[in-house]
Amino acid sequence: MENIPMYQHIKDILKEEIRQGKYRPGDRLPSSNELAVLFSTSRNTSVKALNELVMEGAASAVKGSGTIVNDLHSESGGGKSPVRKNCPDIGLLLADLDDLNHPYITRILHGISERGKTLPCSLRIFCIRNTSIREFAAQRHFDGLIVITELPETSILYLKQQDIPFVLLGNDIAGEDVAVVMNEAFSAMFEAMRHLVRLGHRRIGVLSGPSCKAVTTGGYLAYRQMLAELALVEDECFFKACDWGEESGYHAFKKLWNEGKRPTALIAFEDYMAYGAIRAAEEAGLAVPDSLSVIGYGNYPVKAGDVPLTTFDHHIEDLGRKSLELITEILKGKAPPDRKIYLRPQMIERGSCIKYPQKRKKEKK
């Protein structure tokens, strides 16, 4: 007999109990702690079982209520559910439940949740990992969507074609009339580069997010514009796309340094990337800010002993709050004609940038 993982075993049992009517639509499933005791397993295993049910559409993770059984038969034939304008169901769409571990997503959800306390609506988290956007949209267990994780453009256009009310959070599609709440990608790059040039820096490096992300595309266009405006020599600067996270920042800067790149200042599109780059710089004999000035993005919590990082606060909770306000206005038919809301990031100066030239510490070759 095939050895079935415990989480799969738990999930299959719950699905069968739902089918038999033990748990009806709207009922709360046992919590991860309750399942861990019931099946004599770890909480992580029971969490995975519940997450799998959510990803398959059998249940929804409802903040403050637990994992709730969905009604899979209420919309037979793929018909759309009527919008309950007095108390609409708002879906919060993620590409992967692992995204919940990132402080950006945590703060977005906190902003949405706080605003939701004063708006008549219910909130549900959905994940479409291993599920096509067509399958997800056909289930339609929501009245409107806030798309938190950046999805492929084809997926967004499909939602639009199906007349599904949605708001893109942190993303936009050029030339398309879609509702958007995001930061101004250009303004942060403009301000960061001008700030560094005012400090005397001419060799400026940029570590952006993944090349497929809208923030990277916008940041690169702003970077090119700043090269021309500030008369910077392109060969002395660089713009490098890499994954999010501290380890990616570490490896990206280390590779660029080993290739002979010698920036006096660095801009990272995420604080964690910046801290990774700082670690690589220190291994190369550079001290921050004495030998390298660094600007991050996000204003995330720092660990004790970290360099006090100059960064941009991009009002993460406000993004969440305003996205919920916009989708509820859309569902009421009261949304403004221009449904694009842009927030301007705010620079927070700390101790990771100094004037150049200064007396520099000797750099390792």
Give the start-to-end residue ranges of the domains of the chain: 185-313
Instruction: Give CATH for domain 185-313.
Output: 3.40.50.2300
**Which pLDDT value is given to residue 304?**
64
- Does this model's pTM top 0.85? no
Is pLDDT of 291 > 90?
yes
Range from 4-13, 113-122, 270-279 carrying the lowest mean pLDDT = 4-13
pLDDT, tens only, 124-147: 888 887 678 888 888 777 899 999
Range from 16-20, 25-29, 50-54, 310-314 carrying the lowest mean pLDDT = 16-20
Using omega within 30 degrees of 0 as the cis cutoff, is the peptide bond preceding 289 cis? yes
Q: What share of the chain has pLDDT > 90, as a percent?
A: 45
Other C-beta atoms closer than 10 Å to the C-beta of 124 total 20
Task: Average the pLDDT over 3-7 and give the result.
Answer: 75
Most confident of 70-79, 92-101, 119-128: 119-128
Is pLDDT of 365 > 70?
no
Task: Average the pLDDT over 107-134 and give the result.
Answer: 86
Task: Average the pLDDT over 316-320 and give the result.
Answer: 94
Is pLDDT of 82 > 50?
no
Most confident of 56-65, 91-100, 193-202: 193-202
Is pLDDT of 180 > 50?
yes
Comparing 200 with 59, the larger pLDDT belongs to 200
Distances (CA, A) of 32 to 7, 27, 48, 96: 11, 15, 9, 19
Residue 226 banded pLDDT, cuts 50, 70, 90: very high
